[in-house]
């Protein structure tokens, strides 16, 4: 992503395109106007959960909030990258949460499936149960470590080799409460990131 790219500017641009004022967006996303102002001005980056709430209200996805359209158009000229993702060329989705990082395993998020490698640092705990903005299916396969998937209020403990499938509209959270790193592959359709 280019150095000039700003998540706050992207949020503000999307908000303006939807003819919303800051107060309306903050209210619908259930965050304070002050928090939204700080995000839009670049003085804070917000949590993954906060950004997901904003994306939902803006009829967007987290990935779209972090996508620089200028970078996308430059990549579209490379024919192989339309189909193939080399390990060294995976797009990293950066979040303000240092305990959570993702890499795209598909060339982009323009298709019907989101396929992502997720790494959770030890003790990465989430406070909120949140649904994705769109339905379909989510399937998570644990590569290493142990994750806890909470669907509504039911916890499922998954270890290496375990897999879970659920409707991403279901309020959920994925945590790593252990002292070791965990990683999993997430496939979601339609794209919701």
pLDDT digits (tens, 9 = 90+) for 15-59: 999 999 999 999 999 999 999 999 898 887 777 778 888 988 998
Do residues 114 and 188 touch, judged by C-beta distance below 8 A?
yes
Q: Which CATH number fits domain 80-189: 3.40.50.300, 2.60.120.10, 3.40.190.10, 1.10.10.10?
A: 2.60.120.10
pTM: 0.68
Query: For residue 2, what pLDDT is reported?
Result: 37
Using DSSP bridges, classify how beta strands 172-175 and 100-104 pair: parallel, antiparallel or unpaired. Answer: unpaired
- Under CATH, to which class is 7-65 assigned? mainly alpha
pLDDT at 80: 76
The tokens of 96 are what?
A: 């303000």
Which of 65-74, 88-97, 160-169, 180-189 is predicted least confidently?
Answer: 65-74
Please tell me the predicted confidence (pLDDT) of residue 3: 38
User: For residue 4, what pLDDT is reported?
Assistant: 42
More confident residue, 159 or 46: 159
Domain with CATH 2.60.120.10 in the chain: 80-189
**Helix 33-41 and helix 48-57, axial crossing angle in degrees, nearest 10:** 100
What gap in Å lies between CA 102 and CA 169, rounded to an integer?
Answer: 20
pLDDT recorded at residue 159:
98
* Spatial separation of the C-alpha atoms in residues 106 and 151, rounded to whole Å: 26
pLDDT digits (tens, 9 = 90+) for 115-150: 999 999 999 988 777 777 666 899 999 999 999 999
pLDDT score at 71:
53
- Tally the C-alpha atoms within 13 A of residue 153's C-alpha that lie toward its C-beta: 0
Tens of pLDDT, residues 64-123: 776 665 554 555 556 677 788 899 888 887 667 778 888 889 887 777 888 999 999 999
Provide CATH 1.10.260.40 ranges for the chain: 7-65
């Amino acid at each position: 992503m280019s150095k000039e790219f700003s998540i706050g500017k992207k949020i503000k641009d999307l908000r303006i395109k939807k003819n919303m004022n800051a107060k309306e967006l903050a209210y619908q996303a259930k965050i304070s106007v002050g928090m939204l102002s700080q995000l839009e001005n670049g003085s804070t980056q917000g949590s993954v959960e906060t950004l997901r709430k904003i994306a939902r209200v803006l009829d967007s996805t987290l990935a779209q909030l972090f996508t620089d359209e200028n970078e996308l158009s430059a990549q579209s000229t490379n024919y192989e990258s339309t189909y193939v993702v080399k390990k060294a060329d995976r797009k990293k989705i950066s979040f303000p949460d240092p305990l959570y990082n993702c890499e795209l395993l598909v060339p982009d998020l323009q298709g019907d499936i989101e396929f992502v490698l997720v790494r959770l640092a030890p003790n990465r705990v989430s406070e909120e149960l949140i649904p994705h903005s769109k339905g379909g299916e989510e399937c998570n396969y644990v590569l290493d470590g142990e994750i806890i998937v909470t669907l509504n209020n039911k916890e499922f403990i998954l270890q290496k080799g375990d897999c879970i499938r659920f409707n991403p509209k279901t309020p959920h959270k994925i945590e790593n409460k252990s002292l070791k790193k965990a990683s999993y592959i997430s496939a979601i359709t339609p794209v919701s990131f």
